[in-house]
Amino acid sequence: MRDDIIAAFENAKTNATTTGQVYWHTLTEHPSVSFGFDPDEDYFFLAMAPSNGPHTEWEQITAVFERRRATIPGLSSIFESALCIRFNTDMFIQSKNIIDFIVDLIEGLDVTDINTSFEAVLAEWESMFAMFGTPLNPKQVRGLIGELLVLNHLLDNQGIAVADSWIGPTGTLHDFICSDWHIEVKESMRPDPMASVHPIDQLEPIDVPFNLVMIKLRRDDSGFSLPDLIDIIREKIGSGNGHRVHFEDVLLAAGYRDDHSFAYIDFRYSSELEIRLPINEDANVLFPAMISSNVNYVDIRWKLRMSQHPFINIDDDFWTNPGI
């Protein structure tokens, strides 16, 4: 569903930009949910129908989005009274968990009472929205460092175009996606590194070479900070090109802002271990096909311990071509 949602927003934006007017994309499997984009006002929309109660004007709910009840013109009659959420494009990009929130909204949608189901899901996400715009917490910093260390290695062994493969903070299933390979990055500070895996299909084998890369970090006063690593990568990518624009957009989606750099400079790390696990049919990892069909579940988070899997040391050949 995450991929469907991202594709729906991208389709709505592309068509709206081409036609110069608001465009809506309704999910085939969820006909009561539609995604829109307004090219004039630079807003993304999510509409859910039907919504009981009188129509309203826009009301600010969080720093990330507003809502109102109204008719969505051009859509089916079910949207004559819809609960509509709109996101300013910058806010949408900066809130890296917004796709997870939308997935949760759709999965928890009760078409007999849209408003109540929306409020129930929103209540579970209020703490995340309340933290929007604040500096990253230490766990988020380390996770971002892990991804940037991988990007740094790729840049050292490939051209700057490889920067475009880094998209994890934008809400995708994997952190690095190229037509010929995928990489998912996990960071840990434990003696026996441990990865927390979510969603359940994150380590599902795919049609191209796919590796789980584990980065073991340790606190080190003489090591690098997050701003240090970002400066190194910016210098390698350069400026005035589309790859730099992409990097800055993804960095923003991760929640990083330069004006928060003071909050990170005292947290310094060294990389002690960088290893990989090929994710294929032989990998003993959990994904939906391994779960009995008679097991009912909504969501699963699980942990993977390094010592229980045949991880491989990473060399420059891998960074040159992760599809080997």
- Which segment of 140-144, 145-149, 252-256 scores lowest on mean pLDDT? 252-256
The confidence band for 225, taking pLDDT boundaries of 50, 70 and 90, is very high
Residue 225 and residue 118 share a domain = no
- Number of structural domains (the chain) is 2
Domain shared by 267 and 148, yes or no: yes
Q: Would you say 52 and 114 are in contact if contact means Cβ atoms under 8 Å apart?
A: yes
pTM: 0.72
Q: What pLDDT is attached to residue 295? A: 92
Under the banding of pLDDT at 50, 70 and 90, the label for residue 252 is confident
Comparing C-alpha atoms, which of 101, 109, 88 is closest to residue 128? Answer: 101
The residue from 100, 130, 160 where one domain ends is: 130
What's the confidence (pLDDT) of residue 22? Answer: 93
pLDDT at residue 324, rounded to an integer: 81
Domain boundary among 130, 146, 178: 130
- Do 180 and 118 have their domain in common? no
- Rounded CA-CA distance 119/114 in Å is 9
Last residue of some domain: 130, 153, 173? 130
Could you tell me if 12 and 68 lie in one domain?
yes
Vertex 179 angle, CA 103 and 34, to 5°? 25
Residues 143 and 201 placed together within one structural domain of the fold: yes
Is residue 98 located within the same domain as residue 169?
A: no
**What is the distance in angstroms between the CA of the first residue and the CA of the last residue of the chain?**
29
Range in 119-133, 138-152, 280-294 the model is least confident about? 119-133
Tens of pLDDT, residues 190-211: 999 999 999 999 999 999 999 9
Residue 279: domain span:
138-320
Question: C-alpha distances in angstroms, 60 versus 79, 119, 205?
Answer: 21, 14, 41
Q: Which residues contact 19 (CB under 8 A, 6 or more apart)?
A: none
Query: In percent, how much of the chain has pLDDT > 70?
Result: 98
pLDDT at 96: 61
Rounded mean pLDDT, 151-163: 96
**1-44 pLDDT tens trace:** 888 888 899 999 999 999 999 999 998 888 999 999 999 988 99
Together in a domain, 230 and 158: yes
Q: Is the pLDDT of residue 297 over 80?
A: yes
Q: Do 195 and 240 fall into the same domain?
A: yes
Q: Are residues 32 and 161 in the same domain?
A: no
For 184-250, the DSSP string reads EEEEE-SSS-EEEE-STTTT---SS-EEEEEEEEEEEEEEE-HHHHHHHHHHHH-SSSHHHHHHHHH
Please report the pLDDT score of residue 24 as a whole number: 95
SS3 308: helix
The answer to whether residues 163 and 235 touch, using CB atoms and an 8 Å cutoff, is no
Does residue 145 share a domain with residue 57? no
Number of C-beta neighbours around residue 209 at 10 A: 17
The share of the chain scoring above pLDDT 90, in percent, equals: 73
Q: Are residues 120 and 145 in the same domain?
A: no
Are 104 and 147 within one domain? no
pLDDT digits (tens, 9 = 90+) for 55-111: 999 998 887 889 999 999 889 999 999 999 998 877 776 666 788 899 999 988 888
